[in-house]
Structure 1
């Protein structure tokens, strides 16, 4: 019998997909669930998939691999999409595709499937990843084929067929959670004017309810990667989890944005990325005293392009791999410590130090020193002013 490996989350879309694919294609459905740090969301996920019709279920713990080989390389690039989004969903898709293809090869399956809609980014990310890793793979995308037109119709179908789901007509949000973040779309969020309700949030304390005392924390870096908190060494996943807890308690890391999807649709998304928000700030702080100015500026000029590659689904592309090599070279000396002050939703850098710091207090001081001859600046300015004098602007 033919086989398909379905990227399964246990949520509404993929739960319905098991039954629909099995009935529509008369095919054996093997469910694959990647443990990316979803926590309690994975409780009973294996039993649920089997009960819904899967013949076999793979649940793989990829938390350390996810943070070490996907999140941290992206963080070394300081990647934001459209100056806000920390790419929490985007960066998980290539790893899921990689593991999905590995299982398809092991099971001799000709097909893979996903629960992404035909309007969104995830369909592109999943499929580009799969095609890059196994060009002859065949893909089933239920949302582009089945008769259901909305999440409400999926809820009705699941209730009719006894498929347990957490989504309800009152809370029909589409959510995605992993070690880096949790996202929310749909429901009342489709009106970009409406404020999310307080009961929607998962990872974070509301800023107004956060502690009244600031929390200071030191994040230790080596070669561009965070390696410890307050001098205590940690694995990548443990460190990010700890930062999520600390930052979440202090209300840090919520964003509410309207973003431009790859397919051309504007979409409102609400995200909680507490630990990642702090790690970005800390990384920038250590870079500021350890990276050469021109190298830093050149790397920064590539952030938008790098973020687009991740957001659009080109993680396994030759251009992203080449760019990653350059970025990693720039990170060789990004070693040191950043001190952060967290308070009621704000994350402030209040200190940075490094054993390989390029900062020279003797040069930077406003007090008396005998290192820098300030009269040299006159010639420097005159040389740089030559082209401006000859530009004939507003003359």
Structure 2
């Protein structure tokens, strides 16, 4: 039941059909003044039409917020996550998950500025995004009122939503009148597609689902080789050309797209308890992950590297489940960032038909010692005889166990 005490609501607004319906529903059901926030996260679509749609729905011009957050998104969310080499369930690079806390943060900032007493989002009651948005809201503004229309309204079908849209003269694009073939979410890091034609995990995704990469078999027959420079764990230049975070990721996306990099067909475990099948494309992120691990391979001590790998699944779960603003994520981030203080240098990358290969890495902080690993005679940095005692000490407990087992057969 609508809380009639709510006077102003900040809505995460894309300008699409669902959030346009939500906008009108908030006005009619709550009688509330709606403030819209539309974020340019690099989704690849023109977002300015959202302003015209909000105006047409009766939103005051001063209540329409459209902001280009691409640089902030990559600098303060994507790059910190990639310092941890974050992968959820072994494959997913968390492109949707990492965008939600930034949107939530912006909504709360606008709510404070405009004196709003509630925030709202368009996530359904089955997915992860409702959790991510709302944990973000509460983590930043504990007493904020959250309106989740998909958990509140009485619409039972897509047809009922369309009838509401027509009744209130909400623009319905032609392809939305039928059942959409699949659902898409996109930002500068990735695109995700799920539902409808993708619901059966036994059936290969149609080629038309992929929108950010060419098929690997259609990629050029000649490899593309280039360099990425890192400074304290973050990429800062491609082929020696310094770039801002968003510009650099955009360039990696282009290189990945043209070489069929970053496709993923995944069945994942949602936080709410169900499994879902999604098709993800993360061209630039796939390259970045490989390159970052490449520079770490020569600059991180074994103990630090292995500890990072042990911490990473926990970090990934926190991002996936929406706990970006939690103290445990911040604690892990502090440890991860400390590990990156000397993760600087250059990585040489080869892209070829869907594959990313690291073919070279250099750093002024390299721990790689050629004198230690060489097979050439005459080097005195390592005495082979020292390995005998090392092996016997490590074998001691195994020998004791073996003798006991022989004795008690």
For residues 172 and 25 of structure 1, the distance between their equivalents in structure 2, rounded to whole angstroms, comes to 32
Q: State the secondary structure of the residue aligned to 2:203.
A: coil
For 1:114, the equivalent position in structure 2 comes to 121
For 1:16, the equivalent position in structure 2 comes to 21
The alpha carbon displacement at 1:5 in A equals 0.4
Q: State the secondary structure of the residue aligned to 1:302.
A: helix
Alignment pair present for 1:137 and 2:147: no
For residues 131 and 142 of structure 1, the distance between their equivalents in structure 2, rounded to whole angstroms, comes to 17
For residues 48 and 77 of structure 1, the distance between their equivalents in structure 2, rounded to whole angstroms, comes to 40
The alpha carbon displacement at 1:388 in A equals 1.1
For 1:262, the equivalent position in structure 2 comes to 271
The alpha carbon displacement at 1:286 in A equals 0.2
For residues 217 and 343 of structure 2, the distance between their equivalents in structure 1, rounded to whole angstroms, comes to 35
Q: Which runs of 4+ in 1 moved over 6 A?
A: none
For 1:224, the equivalent position in structure 2 comes to 233
For 1:125, the equivalent position in structure 2 comes to 132
For 2:352, the equivalent position in structure 1 comes to 343
Alignment pair present for 1:63 and 2:70: yes
For 2:57, the equivalent position in structure 1 comes to 52
Q: State the secondary structure of the residue aligned to 2:361.
A: strand
Deviates further, 162-171 or 319-328:
162-171
For residues 97 and 375 of structure 1, the distance between their equivalents in structure 2, rounded to whole angstroms, comes to 60
CA deviations 1:268-313 (Å, max 9, x no partner) are: 1111100000000000000000000001111110000000000000
Where structure 2 has 5 or more consecutive residues not aligned to the other structure, the ranges are 1-5
For 1:26, the equivalent position in structure 2 comes to 31
CA gap of 1:153–1:80, structure 2 versus 1, over 3 A, is farther
For residues 218 and 78 of structure 1, the distance between their equivalents in structure 2, rounded to whole angstroms, comes to 19
Matching residue within 342, 355, 363 for 2:364: 355
| Count of matched residue pairs | 395
Deviates further, 380-389 or 202-211:
202-211
Counting only pairs closer than 5 Å after superposition, residues 276-295 of structure 1 correspond to structure 2 as 276-295=285-304
Deviates further, 62-71 or 1-10:
1-10
CA gap of 1:10–1:249, structure 2 versus 1, over 3 A, is same
CA deviations 1:155-186 (Å, max 9, x no partner) are: 45435544335553353422111110111111
CA gap of 1:246–1:151, structure 2 versus 1, over 3 A, is farther
Report the aligned-residue RMSD. 1.6
Determine if contact 2:15/2:49 at 8 Å carries over to the other structure: no
Query: Scaled by the length of structure 2, what TM-score is found?
Result: 0.93
The structure having more radius of gyration, on CA atoms, is: 2
For 2:3, the equivalent position in structure 1 comes to none
For 2:336, the equivalent position in structure 1 comes to 327
Alignment pair present for 1:100 and 2:107: yes
The alpha carbon displacement at 1:150 in A equals 4.4
The alpha carbon displacement at 1:227 in A equals 0.4
CA gap of 1:165–1:312, structure 2 versus 1, over 3 A, is farther
Deviates further, 297-306 or 16-25:
16-25
The alpha carbon displacement at 1:325 in A equals 0.4
Q: State the secondary structure of the residue aligned to 1:339.
A: strand
Alignment pair present for 1:373 and 2:380: no
Alignment pair present for 1:249 and 2:258: yes
